[in-house]
Amino acid sequence: MLLGKYLDENISRCETLFTCNQDSMFILDIEGHVVQVNPAFEKISGFSTEEAKQLKLQFLFPIDNVNKVFHHFHKAVLGQFQNFDCKMMNKNGQLVDLNVTNIPISMNDQIVGVCAVGRDITALKRKKEEIRKIEEMQRILTDDVLDVIISTNMQGEILYVSPSCEHILGYTEDEVINQNSLTFIHPDDKKKAYMNRKKSLDTLGNGRDCYRVRKKDGEYVWMESLCKPIIDTETLLVLEVVSVIRDISKQTKVEEEAKKREETYRDIVEYSPDAVFIARGNKILFINETGAKLLGATKKEDILNKKVIDFFHPDYHEIAKKRIKVVTRGDTTDFYEYKLICLDGTVFFAEVKAIPTIFQNKPAKHIIIRDITEQKRTQELLLNSEKLNVAGQLAAGIAHEVRNPLTAIKGFLRLMEAQADNNQTYFEIIKSEMDRIELILSELLVLAKPHELKFEPVDLNRLIDSVKTLIDTQAIMNGVHIETSYCAKNFMINCDRNQLKQVFINILKNAIEAMPKGGVVTIELKKHSFNKIKLLFKDTGKGMPQDILKRLGEPFFTTKEDGTGLGIMISKQIVENHEGTIHFWSDQKGTIIEVILPLMRPKQV
Ligand code: ADP
Ligand code: MG
C-alpha cells in the first residue's frame, strides 16, 4: 500500500527517468511481487506491464539463479544497495545476462519496496568470451611447446617468430628477425626447403615438408614444416608466408627404430631354418625362403596373398580355424600336427605353431611350420626295425628249434609211409602241413640271414621278365593277366638278384591272391629321377581298408586263412637293404605298390 502511494507520488516526478531509461527497471514490494516495470524491461523480458505484474520473482530467473536473486533482494529489503550479475529468463525461455542494482525504496524511514535496475550485459559477456577464446587460441598457437610459428616476407626474411622458438630452437626473437629463414636449414636440405617454399608461392597452396633445422647449440633437429602464403584479398598479392614448424626428431627416431626392428625381424624370419609365414586375417603377407620351398613354390609371389587355409588339408580346416581364432585373440598356440598341401597338391605332415605379432604396424600372425615327414619316417623305421629285430631273433630261434625235430619227423614219416598201405590221405595231409611249416621257415630264414647278400649288376627288365615267367602259371590258373610296361630297356641296378626276385614274387602273389575272380596286374618300370628307377605294381583286386594298410609290414600280420604275414615285411626289408623305398596305396578298386630303387651310376655299369 505504502509502495503504491510512494509510486503515485514519485513516478510522475521521475517519469522520464523511469520510462526512457535504457536499463530495464522493475519495482517490487517487500514480498517480492512485481508492482511496476518500465518499457525497457518489457522489451528485454518480452512481458507486458500487465503480464509482469502477475509474475513472481522466482519465475523470472532460472532455478540456479533464484537463490542469488533472493539473497540480494532480501539485503535490499534490509536497506542495503546491491549490485550483482545474474541471468534472467525472458518470455521465450531465452537467457539474458543482466547486471542488477537493487535500490531499497524507503518512505518515512521504512523500506517499502525495491527498485531493481537491470543492465543487459549479454553482448558484453559474449565479447569477453570471444576475447578469451582468441587469447586462448593465440596462446595455443604461440606457446605450444611443439610448434614454432614463423612469418617471412617474399624474400624469405623472417618478420615474426613465436615465443616458442626460444624454447625449441634456443634463439631469441632478436636473433632471428630479419634473417633469411634458409640460413637455419641444413645445407643438404636447403634446396628442398627452397623448392617447397617456391612451389607454395607459385601455386598459392599449402606446402608440407621435413628438413633439418640448426638449433642455437649447433645441433640439427628434424622438423616438419607447414607453410601457407597469406594473400591480400584486394590486390591478390602475397603479403607474407606463414609457416608452422614442429620438432619431429623424436617421432622420426621412433619411426626409424620401428623400421629397424621390422628389418631385424624380417632378417630373423628370412634366415630361420623353419618355414615361416606372416598372415593377416586369412591372407599370407610374407613368407621366407624355407617356407616357399616347403610349400613347393619356385618364387615367393606364388604364395603371397594366397589364403592360409588353402594350404591346410580339408580334414584339418576346422581345427585350423579354431586355432586361428586363438591367435587373433592375442594368444600363442603350441605346435600341432597338421596335414598340409603343397602348391602341386602333394600332402605332407607338419607341425604348426602361431604367434600374434605386429607386421607393418598392424596386428598379424607369425606362423611357424616344421616339416615332420622325415621325423615320421625315422619313427616308422625305428618302429619297424624294432619289430624286425624281434622277428629276426624269432626266425633264428624257430629255424634252429623247429628244423631239427622236423627233419626227424620227416624221416620217420617216410619210413611209416613205406610200411603202411592204408591211411594214405592222412599222410598226404601231414606232408602238406609239413611243407607249409617248411615254407614259413624258409621265409623266416631270409630274415635271419640279411647279411649274406650278394650284390651284382642286374638288368631289372630281365629280372622282372623272369619273375613273370615264374609266376605266370599261377596267375593264369587264377584268371589273372600280368602285363608289363617298360619306358626303357637296360635299367641296371646293383642288387642281390634272388632277394629282389623274392620281393617281386611276394608282391605278385599278394596281387593274385587279392583277385580271386581274376583280373589284371600291371608292372610299370620308369625312371624316377636321374639316379633312381620306379616300379609300379597295380592290381585290380579288392584293395585294403585304411586300418590294414597301416599295419602292412608288421611281422605275422595277415588277413588270409593260410597266410604267413611275412611277405611284405620281408620285401620291405630287402628293398631297404637295397637303399630303396616301398609305398602302398589302396582302395576298393585295387592296390598300387611303388618300389623305388637306386640305379647304377654309368661308370659302375
Ligand atoms: P600274406 O600274404 O601271407 O597274408 P603279406 O605280408 O604278403 O602276408 O601280406 C599281408 C596282408 O596284406 C595280406 O594278408 C593282405 O591282407 C594284405 N595285402 C597285401 N597285398 C595286397 C594286395 N595287393 N591287395 C590286397 N591286400 C593285400
Ligand atoms: Mg603274401
Q: Please report the DSSP string for 119-167 in residue order.
A: EE-HHHHHHHHHHHHHHHHHHHHHH-TTEEEEEE-TT-BEEEE-THHHH
The closest ligand to the CA of 560 turns out to be 1
Decide if 262 is inside a domain. no
Based on the fold, state whether residues 184 and 312 are members of the same structural domain: no
Residue 596 CA: distances (Å) to CA of 447, 501, 502, 533: 21, 15, 16, 6
Cell digits for 196? Answer: 617447397
pLDDT score at 482:
96
Asked if residue 132 is part of any domain, the answer here is no
What pLDDT was estimated at residue 441?
Answer: 74
Task: Pick the range with the lowest mean pLDDT from 67-71, 232-236, 444-448.
Answer: 444-448
CB contact at 8 A, 592 and 534 = no
SS3 content of the chain, % helix, strand, coil (to 5): 45, 30, 25
Which of 384, 522, 548, 568 should be mutated for ligand 1, with most atoms under 8 A from CB? 568
Residue 323 lies inside a defined structural domain of this protein: yes
CATH number at 534 reads: 3.30.565.10
Ligand closest in space to the Cα of 572: 1
417 CA → ligand 1 middle, Å? 36
122, 154: one domain: no
Write out residues with Cβ below 6 Å of ligand 1.
Answer: 506, 510-511, 514, 539, 541, 543-544, 548, 552, 557-560, 563-569, 591
327 and 235 in a single domain? The answer is no
Nearest bound ligand to CA 570? 1
Q: How far is the CA of 23 from the centre of ligand 2 (A)?
A: 121
pLDDT in tens, 318-356: 999 899 889 888 899 989 999 999 998 889 999 999 999
pLDDT value at 392 more than 70? no
Would residue 174 count as lying in a domain? Answer: yes
Whether residue 567 contacts residue 499, with contact meaning beta carbons closer than 8 Å, is answered with no
**Nearest partner of 126 among 104, 100, 96, judged by Cα:** 96
From 535, 501, 506, 541, select the one nearest 521 (Cα to Cα): 541
Sign, CA torsion 426/430/431/435 = positive
Nearest CA to ligand 1 atom 18: 510
For 246, 478, 501, 517, 519, the CA distances from 511, given in Å and listed in that order, are 84, 11, 15, 12, 9
Looking at the structure, tell me whether residues 478 and 576 fall in a common domain.
Answer: yes
Q: Which of 59-68, 113-122, 189-198, 478-487 has the highest mean pLDDT?
A: 478-487
Residue 554 DSSP symbol: S
Q: Does 106 lie in the same domain as 151?
A: no
| Residues in contact with 330: Cβ distance below 8 Å, sequence separation at least 6, in sequence order | 356
Average pLDDT value for residue range 519-543:
94
Helix runs in 514-598, H state only: 546-551, 567-577
- What is the average pLDDT value for the chain, to the nearest integer? 86
What residues contact 130, with CB distance under 8 A and at least 6 apart? none
Q: Which amino acid is at 30?
A: I
Q: What is the tens place of the pLDDT at every residue in 88-97?
A: 988 888 888 9
Is 73 part of a structural domain of the chain?
yes
Q: What is the pLDDT of residue 480?
A: 96
Q: Are 75 and 185 in a shared domain?
A: no
Residue 265 in domain: no
If one counts every other C-beta atom within 10 angstroms of the C-beta of residue 343, the result is: 15
CA distances from 26 to 99, 102, 115, 286 (A): 13, 10, 6, 81
Same domain, yes or no: 105 and 185: no
Do residues 409 and 465 both lie within one domain? no
Distances (CA, A) of 401 to 278, 387, 396, 397, 445: 63, 21, 9, 6, 13
Q: Reading across the β-sheet that carries 24-29, which strands appear in turn?
A: 34-37, 24-29, 110-120, 95-107, 82-89
Please tell me the distance between residue 510's alpha carbon and the centre of ligand 1 in angstroms.
5
The grid coordinates of residue 175 equal: 636473433
DSSP 8-state assignment for residue 181? G
Range of the structural domain that residue 434 is part of:
376-448
Domain final residue pick, 402, 424, 448: 448
Q: How many degrees, rounded to 5, is the angle at CA 63 between CA 61 and CA 66?
A: 60
pLDDT at residue 604 is higher than 50: no
Q: How many CB atoms lie within 10 A of CB 183?
A: 11
Residue with the nearest Cα to atom 23 of ligand 1? 511
Where does a domain end: 371, 388, 413?
371
Q: Which of 524, 522, 519, 549 is nearest to 534 (CA)?
A: 524
- 471-475: list long-range contacts, CB under 8 Å, 24+ apart: 471/505, 471/508, 471/509, 471/512, 474/509, 474/512, 475/508, 475/512, 475/521
Let me know whether 345 and 438 are in one domain. Answer: no
* pLDDT tens digits, one per residue of 222-277: 999 888 888 887 777 888 888 888 888 888 888 888 888 888 888 888 888 889 98
CB-CB contact of 84 with 61 (8 Å): no
For residues 86 and 150, state if they share a domain. no
381 and 359 in one domain?
Answer: no
Residue 137 lies in a domain: no
Residue 275's SS3 state is: strand
Q: What are phi and psi of 84, to 5 degrees?
A: -155, 160
Over range 408-437, report the average pLDDT: 79
Contacts (Cβ under 8 Å, ≥6 apart) of 139 = none
- Tell me which of 448, 474, 509 is where a domain ends: 448
Residue 173 lies in a domain: yes
- Ligand 2 centre distance from Cα of residue 512 (Å): 10
Instruction: Check whether residue 218 and residue 177 sit in a common domain.
Output: yes
**Lowest-confidence pick of 61-65, 231-235, 459-463, 517-521:** 231-235
CATH of the domain at 94: 3.30.450.20
> How many structural domains does the chain have?
5
Q: Which residue minimizes the CA distance to atom 11 of ligand 1?
A: 558
